[in-house]
Amino acid sequence: MAFLVTGSSGCIGAWAVALLHRLGAPVVAADITDDRRRLRYLLSDTDIEGVRFEWCDITDLESVTEVMTKAGITNIVHLAGLQVPFCRADPVLGAQVNVVGTATVLEAARRREGKVTGVSYASSLAVYGPPELYPKARVDDNSPLAPATLYGIYKQADEGIARPNLVAHFPPRVDLRLADRVQVAVDTDSLHFFDEETRVLLRTQPKRCWR
């Protein structure tokens, strides 16, 4: 068994790598950047030495396939993506990473011909619409989707691509509609979502916040 985590330098990606490593699972951390800052908040330098790192462009099928083949990947946690402000700034790149990237990861897994036994991939709460669409002030898997951002539209497309009846022989997969405001707020210095105490912590003690 070997796990591939795409987007391993991100907030949720770093946590996924750290938790898998702590469980003793062989894990490959794949990203287009070598930034290990967030992972160092969660693992010691000694532990990080036990993680295998691979450069990987998820929009490139050959690149993804090569990483999976070399490492003998059996399980995938696909978290790579561009968040709301980056999709808005560059819609083409956003579509390439968030939509083509997901299709590429699933196709690379399919080409493993049964060796990949499971895929978990990140969708987002951004696939839902504004609060006024949901009178009960809550959403579930059956709530109507009405994304209001390009990012949400791309994530809705990902869910469609991964539907089991559309492409034969995709591995079993789980769609996780995640919410992560911390990473995008820190990466864009848009901390107005948080109270003053949290803003100070994020700027001065990021390690404490990530834990």
Residue 140 sits in the same domain as residue 163: yes
Mean pLDDT of 116-144: 89
Helix-then-strand count for the chain, H and E: 11, 6
pLDDT confidence of residue 138: 83
Q: What is the pTM of this model?
A: 0.84
Range of the domain at 156: 3-179
H or E element at residue 5: strand 3-6
Beta strands (DSSP E) in 75-172 are 75-78, 118-124
Supply φ then ψ for residue 159, to 5 degrees. -60, -35
Angstrom distance (rounded) from CA 4 to CA 8? 9
The full DSSP string for 161-182 is HT-TTTSTTPPPEEEEEE---H
Give me the CATH number covering residue 39.
3.40.50.720
* Residue 172 vs residue 186, higher pLDDT: 172
Cβ–Cβ < 8 Å for 96, 143: no
58 and 19 share a domain?
yes
Q: What value does the mean pLDDT take over residues 185-201?
A: 50
* Rounded alpha-carbon distances, angstroms, from residue 163 to 6, 74, 97, 126, 146: 20, 20, 19, 18, 18
Pair (22, 115) in one structural domain: yes
What pLDDT is attached to residue 6? 98
- Let me know whether 39 and 143 are in one domain: yes
Are residues 127 and 31 part of one domain?
A: yes
Query: Are 103 and 189 contained in the same domain?
Result: no
What is the Cα–Cα distance from 173 to 171, expressed in whole angstroms? 6
Question: Could you tell me if 44 and 24 lie in one domain?
Answer: yes
Q: Are 160 and 123 in contact (CB under 8 A)?
A: no
Q: Which percentage of the chain shows pLDDT scores above 70? A: 82
Would residue 189 be called left, alpha or beta, if left means φ above 0 and alpha means ψ between -120 and 50 degrees? left
Residue type, 152: G
CA dihedral (105, 107, 113, 117) positive or negative: positive
174 lies in the same domain as 187: no
Same domain, 64 and 50: yes
Of 97 and 191, more confident: 97
* 57-111: pLDDT as tens digits: 999 999 999 999 999 999 999 999 998 889 999 999 999 999 999 999 999 999 9
61 and 51, same structural domain?
A: yes
**What pLDDT score was predicted for residue 181?**
54
Please tell me whether residues 117 and 200 are part of one structural domain: no
Provide the pLDDT confidence category of residue 177 given band limits of 50, 70 and 90. confident
Residue 174 has pLDDT above 80, yes or no: yes
Same domain, 45 and 147: yes
206 pLDDT more than 80: no
Give me the number of domains the chain comprises.
2
